[in-house]
């Protein structure tokens, strides 16, 4: 068993809004959030006051403890206010991808029985349609303004009492993001107030932040990585978060230059752009002190090229998953120069790990031996909403969460993730479940059978590749037709990027798709 070298942390038994904003009065006039597009700024005092008033407005509207509120928005400076207001009112927040189709959104709403939606006016049509499909939604609020909908801005004038809700941090769910786990379709991950807040405390010794630090939030807040690294963690310590709604390289570089950004938490595609795009040379990025990449594997050579170009310490990596609140490993800021290339870091405080044999899961492996990574600690999720069997398959009776990732540890405790057992595809850090795409492909009348795996494209991104068996009635079915069929029915990041027509899909006797055989066939020279 491998244990963190850092001292254990005391579980943080506070509601997440208290855990993050406890020092807001102390930070006062320091900018908490800045809109990177127009410069609109919220100070810590305003963020604290605003989220309390919006909580009062939500309570007045009928939001109660035990309700689920869906937060459906790109990154804006209003997102944290909406999140903390909802938790203060006693709701659990399920975060929704802003590009989700109404059908995908409706599935999530129905699965978690969400009664409320907070969205933004450009996404209102999608939210309305999803609510209509799902049923059970009482009201849709907007962060900005839209005719016929109550706005969070209007709630700032609410004179009702601030809700006083009896929250049990150990049991009550604060966030309900959706994850596919190691396989299957998206499931609601129940993360309690204590789990998220304690994970912030676990990360603190490795990743320090404070007043004067400026973090650029371009990765989405709705993703657990963005929610932790770009929202909760910096706001807990008085750093300033500069918010961008999406990644546009020119806008991103201008924000670093104009706002004197000190820290970047990004995914590998952004590291690639920083390392290779000619536009980078046109901006002053000298304020940057460190770059951390997570959400997907980062090539060590690419990491080194990025660091060299920016004149920074090596790009550090971090590791975790939604089911782990999400962090378990990170390259500590004070060890960036010592970290071996390719490592995803060391165990954070209060975390234990085992590496077990793929052939004999009861056998523990030592340094240098590759096996499945198992994690135990206070950040392990409460479970999957309404899916006890899936929870039991993920977390064993001794509390070890089976990540589905394959890795090894060196003699100094650095973890290297080398492969995965799990079937999940990570496209630019977003989860794509092969089973979901396979089920959709099988609804096409011209498809007799289908399997989907992740393959890496020329940019180093893992993309969905479908292996399709044509139905005898559709011998002329083309790759373009298959790709268009999927594209019309899923979010852009889930689109199938390649199709190979095959005579049959390899399956085990149990019927399980043998994806390793498909990967091996894909790698064979044609």
Look at residue 524 in the predicted model and tell me its pLDDT.
Answer: 54
pLDDT band with cut points at 50, 70 and 90 for residue 68: very high
List, for residues 374-422, the tens digit of each pLDDT value: 999 999 999 999 999 999 999 999 999 999 998 999 999 999 998 766 6
User: From the centroid of its chain, how far is CA 52?
Assistant: 26
pTM: 0.86
Element (H, E) at 275: helix 268-276
**DSSP conformational letter for 314:** P
**Shortest CA distance to 84 belongs to which of 137, 162, 161?**
162
Whole-number Cα distances in Å, 120 to 33, 85, 145, 150, 252: 18, 16, 8, 11, 22
How confident is the model over 233-253, as a mean pLDDT? 97
Give the count of alpha carbons within 13 A of 348, CB side only. 32
Q: Which two tokens stand for residue 502?
A: 């095959």
For the segment(s) 425-523, the CATH number from 3.30.300.30, 3.40.50.1700, 4.10.410.60, 3.30.590.10 is 3.30.300.30
Residues 6+ apart with CB under 8 A from 82: 54, 71, 73, 118, 143, 152
List, for residues 75-125, the tens digit of each pLDDT value: 999 999 999 999 999 999 999 999 999 999 999 999 999 999 999 999 999
Q: What ranges do the domains of the chain cover?
A: 2-405, 425-523
List, for residues 131-154, the tens digit of each pLDDT value: 999 999 999 999 999 999 999 999
Alpha-carbon distance of 55 to 360, in angstroms, equals 51
Look at residue 423 in the predicted model and tell me its pLDDT.
Answer: 77
List, for residues 151-182, the tens digit of each pLDDT value: 999 999 999 999 999 999 999 999 999 987 76
List, for residues 476-501, the tens digit of each pLDDT value: 999 999 999 999 999 999 999 999 99
Q: Which two tokens stand for residue 154?
A: 């209007």
User: From the centroid of its chain, how far is CA 511?
Assistant: 31
Look at residue 382 in the predicted model and tell me its pLDDT.
Answer: 98
Q: Higher pLDDT residue, 346 or 513?
A: 346
Alpha-carbon distance of 505 to 469, in angstroms, equals 7
409: phi > 0 → left, psi -120 to 50 → alpha, else beta; which?
beta
**Percent of the chain predicted with pLDDT > 90:** 85
Does the pLDDT of residue 508 top 90, yes or no? no
Say yes or no: do domains 2-405 and 425-523 share a fold.
no
**Shortest CA distance to 437 belongs to which of 480, 392, 498, 393?**
498
Look at residue 511 in the predicted model and tell me its pLDDT.
Answer: 60
How confident is the model over 185-194, as a mean pLDDT? 95
Does CATH place domain 2-405 in 3.40.50.12780?
Answer: yes
pLDDT band with cut points at 50, 70 and 90 for residue 237: very high
Asked which of 45-49, 131-135, 217-221, 427-431 is least confident by mean pLDDT, the reply is 427-431
How confident is the model over 68-77, as a mean pLDDT? 98
Mapping DSSP to helix (H, G, I), strand (E, B) and coil, where does residue 279 land? helix
Contact assessment for residue 160 and residue 88, using Cβ atoms and an 8 Å cutoff:
no
Does the pLDDT of residue 509 top 60, yes or no? no
């Amino acid at each position: 068993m491998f244990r963190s070298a850092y001292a254990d942390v005391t579980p943080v038994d506070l509601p997440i809004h208290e855990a993050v904003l406890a020092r807001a009065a102390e930070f006062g006039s320091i900018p908490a959030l800045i809109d990177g597009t127009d410069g609109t700024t919220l100070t810590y005092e305003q963020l604290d006051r605003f989220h309390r008033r919006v909580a009062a407005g939500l309570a007045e509207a009928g939001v109660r403890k035990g309700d689920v509120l869906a937060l459906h928005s790109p990154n804006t400076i209003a997102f944290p206010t909406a999140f903390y207001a909802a938790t203060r009112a006693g709701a659990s927040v399920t975060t929704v991808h802003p590009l989700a189709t109404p059908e995908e959104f409706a599935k999530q709403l129905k699965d978690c029985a969400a009664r409320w939606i907070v969205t933004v006016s450009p996404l209102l049509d999608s939210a309305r349609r999803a609510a209509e499909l799902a049923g059970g939604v009482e009201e849709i609020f907007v962060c900005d303004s839209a005719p016929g909908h109550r706005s969070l801005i209007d709630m700032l004038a609410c004179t009702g009492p601030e809700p006083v809700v009896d929250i049990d941090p150990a049991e009550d769910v604060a966030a309900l993001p959706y994850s596919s786990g190691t396989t299957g379709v998206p499931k609601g991950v129940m993360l309690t107030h204590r789990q998220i807040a304690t994970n912030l405390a676990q990360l603190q010794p490795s990743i320090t932040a404070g007043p004067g630090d400026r973090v650029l939030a371009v990765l989405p807040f709705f993703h657990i990585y963005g929610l932790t690294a770009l929202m909760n963690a910096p706001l807990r310590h008085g750093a300033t978060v500069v918010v961008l709604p999406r990644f546009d390289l020119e806008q991103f570089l201008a924000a670093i230059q104009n706002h004197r950004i000190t820290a970047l938490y990004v995914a590998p595609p952004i590291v690639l752009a920083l390392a290779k795009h000619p536009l980078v040379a046109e901006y002053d990025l000298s304020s940057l002190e460190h770059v951390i990449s997570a959400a997907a594997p980062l090539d060590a050579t690419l990491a080194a090229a990025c660091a060299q170009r920016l004149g920074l310490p090596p790009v550090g990596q971090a590791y975790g998953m939604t089911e782990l609140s999400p962090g378990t490993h990170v390259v500590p800021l004070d060890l960036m120069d010592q970290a071996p290339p390719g490592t995803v870091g060391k165990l954070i405080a209060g975390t234990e790990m085992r590496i077990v044999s793929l052939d004999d899961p009861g056998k523990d492996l030592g340094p240098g031996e590759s096996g499945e990574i198992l994690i135990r600690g206070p950040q392990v999720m409460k479970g999957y909403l309404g899916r006890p069997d899936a929870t039991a398959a993920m977390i064993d009776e001794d509390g070890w969460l089976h990540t589905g990732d394959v890795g090894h540890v060196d003699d100094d405790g650095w973890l290297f993730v080398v492969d995965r057992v799990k079937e999940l595809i990570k496209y630019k850090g977003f989860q794509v479940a092969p089973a979901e795409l396979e089920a959709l492909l099988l609804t096409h009348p011209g498809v007799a059978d289908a399997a989907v795996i992740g393959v890496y494209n020329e940019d180093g991104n893992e993309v969905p590749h479908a292996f399709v068996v044509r139905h005898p009635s559709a011998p002329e079915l083309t790759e373009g037709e298959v790709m268009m069929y999927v594209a019309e029915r899923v979010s852009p990041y889930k689109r199938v990027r390649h199709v190979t027509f095959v005579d049959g899909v390899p399956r085990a006797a149990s019927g399980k798709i043998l994806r390793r055989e498909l990967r091996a066939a894909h790698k064979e020279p044609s």
